[in-house]
Amino acid sequence: MADAITEATAKLQLDEETGEMVSKNELKKRLAKRAKKAKTAANKAAAPPKDTTEKESNAAKKPKPEETQLDPDAMFKEGFLAKVYDERPTGKDTVTRFPPEPNGFLHLGHAKAIAINFGFARYHGGVTNLRFDDTNPEAEEEIYFTSIIDVVEWLGFKPHAITYSSDNFQRLYDLAEKLIQLEKAYVCHCNEAEIKLQRGGEKGTSPRYRCVHAEQDVETNLQKFRDMRDGKYQPQAAFLRMKQDITSGNPQNWDLAAYRVLSKPHHRTGDKWIIYPTYDFTHCIVDSFEGITHSLCTTEFQQARESYEWLNKTLSLYEPMQREYGRLNVTGTIMSKRGLKKLIDGKYVRGWDDPRLYTLIALRRRGVPPGAILSFINELGVTTANSLIQLKRFEQSVRRYLETAVPRLMMVLDPLPVVIEDADSLASSERDLNIPFSPKNPEFGSHPLRLTNTVYIDRSDYREVDSKDYFRLAPGKTVGFLQMPYPVTATSFSKDADGKITEVRAVFNKDGKRPKTYIQWVPEGSRKVEVRVHTALFKSEDPASVEGGFLNDISPNSETVYTDALIEPGFEEVRRRAPWPDTEGEKKKAGPESVRFQGLRIAYFAMDSDSTDDKVVLNRIVSLKEDAGKS
């Protein structure tokens, strides 16, 4: 009997509706029963809600997670990115770049750009540069540089070179002079209102025209441009404009700015320069300098492709190919830098890396593995359409990834002692348990666990008054305790003056049937940990459009802290053996968040950066089932 139970518990599955571990057969029975019930309900309804019935019966035969894992290179093998490659099949000579502006922390959307640019080159045997697009000294700070490099590596990518647009300031300047000499650029002194009129007025519908400055000769333009460089103009008093094609239907051809006076010291070039090249002037040229074969960016740059191509062609430079993919946006959160800053300054969250945010440093702190982020992006696929994804879809991907990637441990959030009165009757082999870290994968190994006379279960798994639809522990009731040799029957309980149950007493049921339901427990001497369970920070799907702004949409209880949770001793080994899983990006530098595990019947957890050697703080990465814990 004892062996049979220990063996059987290894094969238990989670009943997502009740949160219990049950045998495969029992789960099948329950699902079939629920499907039948749903079907009857559906048939009874006036308009037959066919969808519901289908959904329910689909739930009963959900494919196993392994069966739904996608080829990690799927997004490069077919669809948009495969077509882009076919236009220019460069093989091992493929060179891409990921070009963030170092003016904030990267967010989940950027992970798509990283996965695409680095993944595309890697898939074709080429390389990728991490390029800091640092042409705007007004917003850049050192901390962003370090954090961006860290995040790229954490996602498992190695930049071929880390480059800076600013390293090219001299070459860019020389090319600007060349453009003037080619009569394709002029120094303009118009103000914003005048420029707007030249570009067709407020609606862009009145006739477009060039200002007098466009008529200046090369010498005048060169002199004025040098004067800009030498500090003879205040910001806004002069700027260099490209002479493109104002008759074109594309605003990106309407004599865009190439250089402006900013008079701000730059974090790399100091006060060497007071004029700075614009994005439109810089990006295509630096792509060309770096020999980029495929310059992949988001669709808001589609119109800019014309000026991108025009400039390299006009300057007779090597021409990279720009192609555009859809942005990744997620609902129910804020990702803009300004929005995040408000949340942080207002102390609504713990910082830029608060586990409730969707910056990549926050997802990392929360414990989301880099591989889960990459597989989420791969699953979404890449097209030219922008995608608006619900957070629960992201969480579903993370959950699916974690299911086979991390070990399982028993823990209780709100411990309730259970004294097993006949525990001393056990043989020592029944007390010294050996628990596998994974029910399926023997490579995860196992750890010893000693069954003590008093164990702790979660308070929510005990009820003072039993009922028919309740399957866990109650007076006189028997349930399985995961991995224990015998089922346990509750005999009595005690309460304190406030009516709170303080202790349950129980005995083994050595001759009983195999129980249908199993709950988790931890032995005496388990480690006390603080557990933080976060739910969505915002109440609505679209916080930005809530009246009065997104601060009015903040959920009052997005963080629950359990200060007295207990985790079984197997945790120490899980901690020692981190990272879980052992991926490229975490091998080199595994932070506390790489200590990940499934807390049986509760959720997936990771260690928080607030942890010390003595005090362990855990974050919930994601629940075991959709919507659990949502307020």
Ligand X SMILES: Nc1ncnc2c1ncn2[C@@H]1O[C@H](COP(=O)(O)OP(=O)(O)OP(=O)(O)O)[C@@H](O)[C@H]1O
Active site residues: 101, 327, 337
Minimum distance from residue 351 beta carbon to ligand X (Å): 17
Minimum distance from residue 160 beta carbon to ligand X (Å): 17
Binding mask 86-115 toward ligand X (x if CB under 6 A, else -) reads: -------------xxx--x----xx-xx--
Name the phi and psi angles at 433, rounded to 5.
Answer: -90, 155
Omega of the bond leading into 475 within 30 degrees of 0 (cis): no
Asked if 559 is part of the footprint of ligand GLN (rule: CB under 6 A), the reply reads no
**Residue closer to ligand GLN, measured from CB, 99 or 543:** 99
**Residue closer to ligand X, measured from CB, 39 or 337:** 337
Minimum distance from residue 388 beta carbon to ligand X (Å): 11
Beta bridge partners of 529: 565, 616
Q: Which listed option, ligand X, ligand GLN, none, makes contact with residue 328 (CB within 5 to 8 Å by class)?
A: ligand X
Q: Which listed option, ligand X, ligand GLN, none, makes contact with residue 337 (CB within 5 to 8 Å by class)?
A: ligand X
Looking only at residues 285 through 324 of this chain, which bind ligand GLN when binding is defined by CB under 6 A? 297, 301
Q: Which of 110, 124, 266, 283 binds ligand GLN (CB under 6 A)?
A: 283
Closest CA to 299 of 545, 127, 112, 148: 112
Minimum distance from residue 298 beta carbon to ligand X (Å): 4
Asked if 155 is part of the footprint of ligand X (rule: CB under 6 A), the reply reads no
Per residue, what are the HEC states of 10-50? HCCEEECCCCEEECHHHHHHHHHHHHHHHHHHHHHCCCCCH
Within 10 A of 271 (CB to CB), how many other CB atoms are there? 11
Within 10 A of 134 (CB to CB), how many other CB atoms are there? 25
Q: Which of 9, 12, 94, 99 binds ligand GLN (CB under 6 A)?
A: 99
Minimum distance from residue 253 beta carbon to ligand X (Å): 21
Binding mask 309-328 toward ligand X (x if CB under 6 A, else -) reads: ------------------xx
Cα(92)–Cα(103) distance, integer angstroms: 32
E strands present in 421-544: 432-436, 446-450, 454-458, 478-481, 488-495, 501-508, 517-519, 522-523, 527-534
Minimum distance from residue 150 beta carbon to ligand X (Å): 15
Q: Which listed option, ligand GLN, ligand X, none, makes contact with residue 356 (CB within 5 to 8 Å by class)?
A: none
With a CB cutoff of 8 Å and minimum separation 6, the contacts of 495 are 501, 502
Q: Which of 16, 133, 134, 287 binds ligand X (CB under 6 A)?
A: 133
Give the binding-site size for ligand GLN (rule: CB under 6 A). 8
Closest CA to 608 of 395, 367, 380: 367
Asked if 297 is part of the footprint of ligand X (rule: CB under 6 A), the reply reads yes
**Residue closer to ligand GLN, measured from CB, 85 or 562:** 85
Beta bridge partners of 309: none
Name the phi and psi angles at 496, rounded to 5.
Answer: -95, -175
Minimum distance from residue 47 beta carbon to ligand GLN (Å): 49
Closest CA to 519 of 476, 466, 455: 455
With a CB cutoff of 8 Å and minimum separation 6, the contacts of 294 are 84, 85, 88, 90, 94, 95, 96, 120, 320, 321, 323
Parallel, antiparallel, or unpaired: how do β-strands 488-495 and 501-508 relate?
A: antiparallel
**Residue closer to ligand X, measured from CB, 38 or 349:** 349
**Residue closer to ligand X, measured from CB, 112 or 601:** 112
Q: Which listed option, ligand X, ligand GLN, none, makes contact with residue 112 (CB within 5 to 8 Å by class)?
A: ligand X
Q: Which listed option, ligand GLN, ligand X, none, makes contact with residue 283 (CB within 5 to 8 Å by class)?
A: ligand GLN
Identify the residue whose tokens are 């006379």: 453
Minimum distance from residue 281 beta carbon to ligand GLN (Å): 13
Q: How many residues are there in the chain?
A: 631
Q: Which listed option, ligand X, ligand GLN, none, makes contact with residue 279 (CB within 5 to 8 Å by class)?
A: ligand GLN
**H/E segment holding residue 318:** none
Judged by CB under 6 A, which stretch of 58-66, 95-103, 409-417, 555-563 contacts ligand GLN? 95-103
Within 10 A of 223 (CB to CB), how many other CB atoms are there? 15
Which residues sit at the interface with ligand GLN, rule CB under 6 A?
Answer: 99-101, 133, 279, 283, 297, 301
Which residues sit at the interface with ligand X, rule CB under 6 A?
Answer: 99-101, 104, 109-110, 112-113, 133, 297-298, 327-329, 337
